[in-house]
Amino acid sequence: MRTSKFRRLALAGLLGIGLSTQAAAQLWGGDEHTPSLVVAPTSIQIDVPMPVSSGNLQLMLAQATTGGGLAELKQQAVRNYTQHLHSELARELYEYLDDEEIPLVEQDGVLNLHNTLELKVIKHLNTMKPKDDYDLERGNVALSGEFRYTLKNRSGTALREQRINIDDLKIQEQYLVRSYYDGRSGDDDTEEAIKKALSELVEELVESMEDNLEADQLRDMASL
């Protein structure tokens, strides 16, 4: 977006390198009267459908025999999508806060932001058509659940809270699976469809938070 190269380095430090609290505050700067903000890691619980990586049941079972079973396959998918959500949330949120010139710190902030996401990915089959040498499956993935965020002061008092019903956002993405009868590798873009839906969700969630994360709003909250 509008993040300069220097601020992108600061962002990378906050997300993975582990800058000290003082260094992070200096890098992000901002109005001296704008309260510093700690962004806690988002608590994410996500449920995904089975199969998790292929529309070909035989291939999925073969993977399960070498990878610890169907439960392990699903857990791998949960970890994959959870990491995707964490990455997308961090990128969208920190870029917005950078634009607002909010001083971000790792601890001892004037304000603290806490997010909780409970999410279910639902796979809807629309059509299954046999072709000459493969089955063609078409459908969509939809998202259901709830997102909550709370802005607190140092003493832990909630100053702003909001709950968002993810069902109301009506996020859906189409998927396609081509499974060959002879067992050769087919096509399955279910994972791409799910990640696209998750990225769209993150954009909607951060947008819903923006009014309460403006510098003026944070200054008003810090004065309460």
Report the pLDDT value the prediction gives residue 179, as an integer from 0 to 100: 87
Average pLDDT for residues 70-74, to the nearest whole number? 79
Position 70 scores a pLDDT of 73
The answer to whether residue 49 is domain-embedded is yes
The mean pLDDT value for 173-200 works out to 91
Region of poorest pLDDT, from 1-10, 28-37, 147-156, 202-211: 1-10
For residue 161, tell me if it sits in a domain.
Answer: yes
152 part of a folded domain = yes
Which CATH number is 168's domain given? 3.30.160
pLDDT of residue 32: 56
The predicted structure's pLDDT at residue 182: 84
**Each residue's pLDDT tens digit, 16-64:** 333 333 333 333 344 458 999 999 999 999 999 875 444 455 556 665 5
Q: CA-to-CA distance for 68 and 60, rounded, in angstroms?
A: 12
Residues 86-103 have pLDDT tens digits of 999 999 999 999 999 999
- Residues β-bridged to residue 200: none
pLDDT of 4 over the 90 cut: no
Question: 200 is in which domain, residue-wise?
Answer: 36-93+109-222
- Predicted local confidence at residue 39, as pLDDT: 95
Lowest-confidence pick of 51-60, 65-74, 192-201? 51-60
DSSP annotation string for 35-75 = PPEEEPPPEEEEE--SSSS-S-HHHHHHHHHHHT-HHHHHH
Is the predicted pLDDT of residue 68 greater than 70, yes or no? no
Q: At what angle do helices 21-28 and 5-12 cross, to 10 degrees?
A: 160
Contacts of 118 (CB under 8 A, 6+ apart): 45, 145, 146, 147
The model's confidence at residue 2, banded by pLDDT at 50, 70 and 90, is very low
Is residue 115 predicted with pLDDT exceeding 70?
yes
- For the chain, the straight-line distance linking the first and the last C-alpha, in angstroms and rounded, comes to 32
Is 190 among the domain residues?
yes
Residue 12 near residue 87 (C-beta atoms within 8 A): no
Residue 14 lies in a domain: no
Q: Decide: helix, strand or coil at residue 3.
A: coil
- Number of folded domains that form the chain: 1
In a domain, 71, yes or no: yes
111 vs 179, which has greater pLDDT?
Answer: 111
Query: Is 19 inside any structural domain?
Result: no
State the pLDDT at residue 66. 58
- Tell me the per-residue pLDDT of 123-168, one tens digit each, with 9 for 90 and over: 999 998 988 898 899 999 999 999 999 999 999 999 999 999 999 9
Structural domain contains residue 182? yes
